[in-house]
């Protein structure tokens, strides 16, 4: 971990929009609000206020707050409505918490699974190979609360060189080629299918990963909103993706083959409902 990392937590509902496609920068906003007590300290998930915005845009939501260690963002805890660290989480996709890290220009994506101590402290090694502002997402469901995704920024000093992503439906690495088929349609769930080959031959022995044929993360490029993605029960790699608005999106597929997890990355632009993606 770069000891020069400066961690910034944000409680605004929208992150700052950065110039250019997937352009990185520092998000602006007031400090995180104090955790709700009293009337928000419910254990009944039906009584908890639900955000109408896409997940991941705030450091606090549904009564929970992401608290990163100021010198090591790979160490953190989830603060509950009572102001104490949460220690009981439900299994979601075979894990009790998923941590996503990605630079704000869409590069250097990581999907890791921290380990939790008895006091509710989560830890995992995180590396930030290039300078820039990274967004960290904690995706979890407390046993006594609503499914929640919280986000916070980490600033890595150095010579920042932004990457401008263009639309791409094909990813190639290590002899693998992954092709994304299907369009994203704003305002409704869309189905996308990922076809995977190795050395030009279709893979027929893909291993399950996190309870499915793969795990897909979708992020809205302008603000890194973390979108709802649901794997479909199929022998193929299919997902239902809920896209709330028109715009550019990054999609990151984790898949497992030959006992190794690999990540394929795509960028798609979509239009309003009834339009066509490119």
Residues 104-132 have pLDDT tens digits of 999 999 999 999 999 999 999 999 999 99
Report whether pLDDT(24) > 90: no
Task: Let me know whether 31 and 152 are in one domain.
Answer: yes
Asked, for residue 208, whether it belongs to a domain, the answer is yes
Q: What is the CATH number of the domain that holds 175?
A: 2.60.40.10
Q: Of 156, 182, 206, which residue constitutes the final position of a domain?
A: 156
Per-residue burial over 44-53, b = 16 or more CB atoms within 10 Å of its CB, e = otherwise: eeeebeeeee
Tell me if 97 is assigned to some domain: yes
Query: Where in the sequence is the domain holding 203, given as residue range(s)?
Result: 170-270
For residue 217, pLDDT over 80 is answered with: yes
By 3-state DSSP, what share of the chain in percent is helix, strand and coil, each rounded to 5? 0, 45, 55
Domain boundary among 104, 123, 156: 156
Indicate if 18 and 151 belong to the same structural domain.
yes
User: 88 and 12 in one domain?
Assistant: yes
DSSP secondary structure, 29-90, as one string = -PPPPPPP-GGG--S-GGGS---SSPTTS-SEETTEEEEE-SS-TTEEEEE-TTSSB---B-
Task: Report yes or no on 94 lying in a domain.
Answer: yes
The answer to whether the beta carbons of residues 68 and 79 sit under 8 Å apart is no
**137 and 245 within one domain:** no
Is residue 250 domain-resident? yes
The Cα–Cα gap between 274 and 137 comes to 31
CA distance 83 to 38: 11
Answer with the one of 156, 183, 214 that is the final residue of a domain: 156
Q: Are residues 148 and 189 in the same domain?
A: no
203 and 131 in a single domain? The answer is: no
The pTM of the full predicted model, rounded to 2 decimals, is 0.79
What are the pLDDT digits (tens) for 189-212? 899 999 999 999 999 999 999 989
Are residues 159 and 123 in contact, defined by beta-carbon separation less than 8 angstroms?
no
């Amino acid at each position: 971990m770069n000891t020069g990392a400066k961690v910034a937590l944000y409680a605004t509902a929208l992150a700052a929009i950065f110039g250019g496609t997937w352009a990185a920068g520092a998000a602006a906003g007031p400090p995180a609000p104090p955790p709700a007590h009293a009337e928000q300290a419910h254990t009944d998930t039906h009584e908890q206020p639900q955000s109408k915005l896409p997940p991941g845009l705030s450091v606090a939501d549904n009564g929970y707050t992401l608290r990163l260690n100021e010198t090591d963002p790979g160490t953190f805890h989830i603060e509950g409505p009572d102001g104490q660290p949460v220690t009981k989480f439900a299994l979601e996709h075979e894990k009790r918490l998923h941590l996503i890290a990605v630079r704000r220009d869409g590069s250097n994506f990581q999907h890791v699974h921290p380990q939790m101590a008895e006091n509710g402290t989560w830890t995992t090694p995180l590396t930030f190979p290039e300078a820039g502002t990274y967004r960290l997402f904690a995706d979890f469901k407390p046993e006594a609360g609503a499914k929640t995704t919280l986000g916070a920024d980490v600033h890595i000093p150095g010579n920042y060189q932004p990457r401008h992503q263009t639309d791409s439906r094909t990813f190639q690495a290590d002899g693998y080629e992954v092709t994304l088929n299907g369009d994203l349609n704003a305002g409704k769930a869309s189905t996308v299918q990922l076809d995977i080959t190795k050395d030009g031959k279709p893979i027929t022995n893909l291993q399950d990963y996190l309870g499915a044929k793969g795990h897909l993360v979708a992020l809205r490029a302008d603000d890194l909103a973390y979108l709802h993605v649901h794997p479909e029960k199929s022998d193929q790699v299919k997902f239902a993706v809920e896209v709330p608005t028109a715009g550019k999106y990054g999609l990151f597929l984790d898949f497992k083959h030959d006992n190794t997890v690999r990540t394929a990355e795509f960028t798609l632009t979509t239009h309003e409902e009834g339009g066509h993606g490119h």
